[in-house]
Amino acid sequence: MQRALPQQISDRFNFAAGVIWALRVIVAAIVVWGAVSTLTSGFYSASQWRDLFIFGLAQGGVYALIALGYTMVYGILGFINFAHGEVFMSGMMIGYFVADYLNEAGMWNGNPVLALLIVLVVSMLTSTGVAVLVERIAYRPLRESPRIVPLITSIGASFFIQYAFRGLFGAGVKSYPRMEALQGAITVLGVRILKVHVLVIVAVFIMMGLLYWFVEKTRMGKAIRAVAEDKEIAALMGVDIDRAIVMTFAIGGMMAGAAGLLYALVFNQVFFFSGFLPGIKAFTAAVLGGIGNIVGAMLGGIVLGIVESVGPILILSGLGIPAPHQLKDVVAFTVLVLVLIFRPKGLLGERLAEERD
């Protein structure tokens, strides 16, 4: 009950910092050891690595598109829109029904370009609609609440959307019809790449370019950035805050909808829970790139996609762990945890209004 002795306090071992340092060392050691032993074993050929890399790039591009939604919402409202994975899933799911119909009508393989465009538009519209609806119903009334409140709401919204889709469209796994035009591979610069991957990578870069142009150059984009910077000042400058926020959700939804179609082209299948894992991974990508930072989200997505594709084999198989592909998601979650522990501000730094004073 006496006052604690001063010496004891100042000399006390800083427990948390110590643990984090130890963790750093352990992680670095595991990564290096695993990678070195895999590479020296020579078990995987160069072309296998290249395939993994390209697959990772395509997958990462999709993550990047989803991540944009997380990062923009975080930048402007300061909370994690947990339901964004479901926004992505909803586009993919409704896109499936359209694709299925087009397939039956013979258009899916008859005129693949138009068919893809139609599905893309539907998918984007659906996701945009869901995103805007969620904002209107679940988040707008809570804008002034402590951050934890909209986060909990978004968890609720996430489960609601999942199980509403399950109830409405059934729990079964739905397979996108096979598109003949996208089968097989082509050779680009002497590298054999699956056609689907080419399409996805090209589409991702076009979408990202459009978004970047929109945010940097258009009036609305500037308004969004202004609101993200400082809501009050932006309002004083005549920016319609509500509109800017709705636009943010809408754009995030659009990107997620496009990602939905691209993801479906690569993985073919969709069911009501399909949004969860890509959602978490895209969030990881957003944090990895620096939350609130649009370019960061793009970069983070691509890095994460590649790490997730190459990582398990590169590191885990070198450690002698059987069936490393089973641990693919563990790798992604571990990246998430490690990023948040060691570099919560991300690769390119955060851009948040809230933290400044």
Partner 1 sequence: MALLEVRGLSKDFGGLRAIDHLDFHVEEGEIVSVIGPNGAGKTTLFNLITGLFQPDEGEIIFDGHNLVGLRPDQITRLGVARTFQTVRLFFNMTILENVMVGLHGRTRSGILDTILSLPRQREEEEFIRQQAIEALSFFGKRLVGFRLNQPAFVLSYANRRRLEIARAMATGAKLLLLDEPTAGMNPRETLELTELIGRLRDEKGYTIVLIEHDMRVVKGVSDRVVVLDYGRKIAEGDYEEVAHNERVLEAYLGRKAVRSA
Partner 2 sequence: MAEIAPVPEKAPVIEDVRLKAPEVSLERAAKLGGVAGIVAVFVSANGMVQAFAERDIISGVLSMGYTLLFLVPLIMAYLAAREPPVLEGFEAPEKGPRNVLAGLIVGALTGLIMAIFVLVASAVDMRRVFINISPQLLELLTFGQGMGGLVFLVGGCLLTGAVGGLMQLAEGRWRRALWGALAWTLLIGLLEVIVAQLFRGLGLGFLSPLFYAGTGGLTPLGTAVVFVLAFLYYWSVVPKVDMWQRRYAHMPAERQRSVRLSLTVAAVLLVAILPQVLGPFVSEVLDLVGIFLLMGLGLNIVVGFAGLLDLGYVAFFAVGAYTTAILTSPASPRWSPEMSFWAALPFVILAAALAGIIVGTPVLRMRGDYLAIVTLGFGEIARLLLLSDWLRPVFGGAQGILKIPTLSIGPIVFRTPVDMFYPIVGFCLVAAYISWKLKNSRIGRAWMAMREDEQVAEAMGVDIVEIKLKAFIVGAVIASFGGALFATKIGSVFPHSFSLLVSITVLVLIIVGGLGNIPGVVVGTLALVGLPELLREFQEYRLLAYGVLLILMMLYRPEGLLPSKQWVRELHEEELMQDAWLKMEEDRRRAQAQAAQGDLPARPEEA
**Smaller CB distance to partner 1: residue 27 or 149?**
149
Give the shortest CB-7-to-partner 1 separation in angstroms: 8
Contact between 6 and partner 1 by CB under 8 A: the answer reads: yes
Nearest approach, Cβ of 276 to partner 1 (angstroms)?
Answer: 35
CB 41 within 8 A of CB 318: yes
SS3 at position 147: coil
Q: In this structure, are residues 123 and 257 in contact, taking their beta carbons and an 8 Å threshold?
A: yes
Which segments of the chain are extended strands (E)?
A: 174-175, 185-188, 191-194, 269-270
- The reply to whether 322 sits near partner 1 by the rule CB under 8 A is no
For partner 1, the closer CB: 9 or 323? 9
- What count of Cα atoms within 13 Å lies in the side-chain half-sphere of residue 335? 30
Task: Please give the distance of CA 10 from its chain centroid, rounded to a whole number.
Answer: 43
User: Which of 10, 45 has the CB closer to partner 1?
Assistant: 10
Question: Which two three-digit tokens encode residue 249?
Answer: 């959700």
Summarize as ranges the residues that interact with partner 2 (CB under 8 A). 15-16, 19-20, 23, 79-80, 97, 100, 137-138, 141-142, 144-145, 147-153, 155-164, 166-170, 280, 283, 287, 321-323, 326-327, 329-330, 333-334, 336-337, 340-341, 344
Beta carbons within 10 angstroms of residue 18's beta carbon: 10
Q: What's the rounded Cα separation, in Å, for the pair 271 and 216?
A: 36
Q: How far is the CB of 95 from partner 2 (least distance, A)?
A: 12
Considering the complex, state which of residue 4 and residue 236 has its C-beta at the smaller distance from partner 1: 4
Rg value, the chain, Cα:
22
Residue whose C-alpha is closest to residue 69's, from 117, 160, 130, 159? 130
Determine the Cα–Cα distance for residues 293 and 129; give it in Å rounded to an integer.
24
Shorter beta-carbon distance to partner 1: residue 14 or 45: 14
Give me the 11-40 binding string for partner 1, x by CB under 8 A, dash otherwise: -x----------------------------
144: partner contacted, choices partner 1, partner 2, none (Cβ within 5-8 A by kind) = partner 2
Does residue 10 touch partner 1 according to CB under 8 A? yes
Q: Which is nearer to partner 1, 5 or 168 (CB)?
A: 5
Binding site for partner 1 (CB under 8 A): 1, 3-4, 6, 9-10, 12
